[in-house]
Structure 1
Amino acid sequence: MTKESLGHVELEWTCPFCNTRNRGRNKVCANCGAAQPKDVQFEQAAKDELVTDAEGLELAKAGPDIHCPFCGTRNPATAKKCSRCGGDLTEGERRESGQVLGAQQTGPVAQVACEYCGTKNPATNVKCTNCGSPLAKAPRPKPAAAPAAAAAPSRMSPVMLIVGGIILLVICGAIAFFVARGFQTETNVARVSDVTWRRSIVVLGLAPVERSAWADEIPGDADVGFCSERERERSPFPTDRSEEVCGTPYVEDEGTGFGELVQDCEYIVYDDYCEYTTIELMPIGTIDESGSDLNPFWPQTRLEQDQQLGERREVYQITFDVDGETVAYETTNASEFARFAPGSAWQVEINGFGDIVNIEPAR
Structure 2
Amino acid sequence: MAKKILGYIQLVWTCDHCGTQNPGAIKSCTSCGAPQPPDVQFTKVDPETFDFIKDEALIRMAQSGPDKHCPYCGTRNLAEAQRCVQCGSDITIGAKVRESGGILEKPTASQTSAPPRKLSPVALILLLLGVALLCGLMFMFISNLTRTDQVSAVVSGGAWQRSLQILAYQQVSESDWESAVPAGAQIESCSMQYRYDSDTPRASATEVCGEPYTIDTGTGIGQVVQDCVYQVYENYCTYTSLAWVPVDTLVVSGQDLNPYWPSTALSETQRIGTQDERYTIYFSSGGDTYTYSTTNADLYLLAQPGSAWTLEVNRYGSVTSAEPAQ
Aligned to 1:93: 95
Q: Does 1:250 align with 2:176?
A: no
Shift of 1:300: 3.5
Aligned to 2:35: 35
Looking at structure 2, the residues matched to 178 and 35 of structure 1 have their Cα atoms a distance apart, in angstroms, of 72
Q: What amino acid is aligned across from residue 217 of structure 1 in structure 2?
A: A
Aligned to 2:50: 48
Q: What amino acid is aligned across from residue 205 of structure 1 in structure 2?
A: A
Kindly tell me: are residues 331 and 274 of structure 1, through their superposed partners in 2, closer, same or farther at Cα, counting changes over 3 Å? same
Looking at structure 1, the residues matched to 29 and 238 of structure 2 have their Cα atoms a distance apart, in angstroms, of 69
1:169-216 C-alpha deviation (Å, 9 max, x unpaired): 9xx99x9899889979684553x4444433322221124444321122
Aligned to 2:259: 296
Aligned to 2:126: none
Kindly tell me: are residues 225 and 149 of structure 1, through their superposed partners in 2, closer, same or farther at Cα, counting changes over 3 Å? same
1:49-96 C-alpha deviation (Å, 9 max, x unpaired): 112245544544554333233211223445444333333333351532
Question: 210, 217, 224: which is aligned to 1:261?
Answer: 224
Question: 76, 81, 84: which is aligned to 1:82?
Answer: 84
Kindly tell me: are residues 283 and 63 of structure 1, through their superposed partners in 2, closer, same or farther at Cα, counting changes over 3 Å? closer
Kindly tell me: are residues 32 and 205 of structure 1, through their superposed partners in 2, closer, same or farther at Cα, counting changes over 3 Å? same
Kindly tell me: are residues 148 and 70 of structure 1, through their superposed partners in 2, closer, same or farther at Cα, counting changes over 3 Å? closer
Question: 291, 299, 319: which is aligned to 1:336?
Answer: 299
Matches within 5 A, 1:102-117: 102-103=104-105
Looking at structure 2, the residues matched to 300 and 212 of structure 1 have their Cα atoms a distance apart, in angstroms, of 35
Looking at structure 2, the residues matched to 14 and 306 of structure 1 have their Cα atoms a distance apart, in angstroms, of 85
- Structure number with greater Rg is 1
Shift of 1:317: 3.4
Shift of 1:35: 1.6
Kindly tell me: are residues 68 and 217 of structure 1, through their superposed partners in 2, closer, same or farther at Cα, counting changes over 3 Å? same
Q: Aligned-pair RMSD on alpha carbons?
A: 4.3
3-state SS of paired residue (1:336)? helix
Looking at structure 2, the residues matched to 149 and 87 of structure 1 have their Cα atoms a distance apart, in angstroms, of 53
TM-score normalised per structure 1 = 0.68
Q: Does 1:231 align with 2:194?
A: yes
Matches within 5 A, 1:64-83: 64-83=66-85
Q: What amino acid is aligned across from residue 30 of structure 1 in structure 2?
A: T
Query: How many residues are aligned here?
Result: 313
Looking at structure 2, the residues matched to 281 and 212 of structure 1 have their Cα atoms a distance apart, in angstroms, of 16
Aligned to 1:6: 6
3-state SS of paired residue (1:101)? coil
Q: What amino acid is aligned across from residue 16 of structure 1 in structure 2?
A: D
Aligned to 1:21: 21
Shift of 1:304: 0.8
Q: Does 1:308 align with 2:310?
A: no
3-state SS of paired residue (1:13)? strand
Q: What amino acid is aligned across from residue 246 of structure 1 in structure 2?
A: C
Q: What amino acid is aligned across from residue 77 of structure 2 in structure 1?
A: N
Looking at structure 2, the residues matched to 185 and 62 of structure 1 have their Cα atoms a distance apart, in angstroms, of 78
Kindly tell me: are residues 50 and 302 of structure 1, through their superposed partners in 2, closer, same or farther at Cα, counting changes over 3 Å? same
Looking at structure 1, the residues matched to 147 and 250 of structure 2 have their Cα atoms a distance apart, in angstroms, of 40
Same amino acid, percent of matched pairs = 39
In 2, are the aligned partners of 1:64 and 1:94 still within 8 Å (CA)?
Answer: no
Kindly tell me: are residues 7 and 344 of structure 1, through their superposed partners in 2, closer, same or farther at Cα, counting changes over 3 Å? closer
Q: What amino acid is aligned across from residue 39 of structure 1 in structure 2?
A: D
In 1, are the aligned partners of 2:68 and 2:98 still within 8 Å (CA)?
Answer: no
Matches within 5 A, 1:170-319: 187=151, 190=154, 192-225=155-188, 227-319=190-282
In 1, are the aligned partners of 2:162 and 2:252 still within 8 Å (CA)?
Answer: yes
